[in-house]
Amino acid sequence: MQKNKKQKFINTYNVIFHEEDDDGYSVSVPSLPGCFSQGDNFDDAIKNIKEAIELYLEDKTVEEVRSKREFMVPLTLSLRYA
């Protein structure tokens, strides 16, 4: 009986860290809708979001897992407040 082999490759995902008011961080992955995590400190947040991404992608095909090129650009706005 032949085992179902999973392909392995390296992929890069942008993650966004939000510093919480009561310490810790919440983390999201824009290219994976609904993929969120958190941690009491930065290292925990990294560890937890890696696990969340792995779980999110667990049953996906290679085509579904490959990310498209993403980038962030700073945008400066001049706003007026009443």
Task: Note whether residue 22 is domain-resident.
Answer: yes
71 within a domain of the structure (yes/no): no
- pTM confidence score: 0.73
Q: What tens digit of pLDDT does each residue of 25-53 get? A: 999 998 888 999 999 999 999 999 999 99
Q: Which residues contact 79 (CB under 8 A, 6 or more apart)?
A: none
1-16: average pLDDT: 73
> Is 32 domain-assigned?
yes
User: How many domains is the chain built from?
Assistant: 1
Residue 15: Cβ within 10 Å count: 20
7 occurs within a structural domain = no
Point out the least confidently predicted range of 58-62, 67-71, 77-81. 67-71
The reply to whether 51 falls in a domain is yes
Domain that holds residue 55: 16-65
Residue 76 pLDDT greater than 80, yes or no: yes
Note whether residue 5 is domain-resident: no
Q: In the predicted model, what is the mean pLDDT of the chain?
A: 86
For residues 58-66, average pLDDT? 78
Burial of 77 (0-12, 13-18, 19+ CB in 10 A): exposed
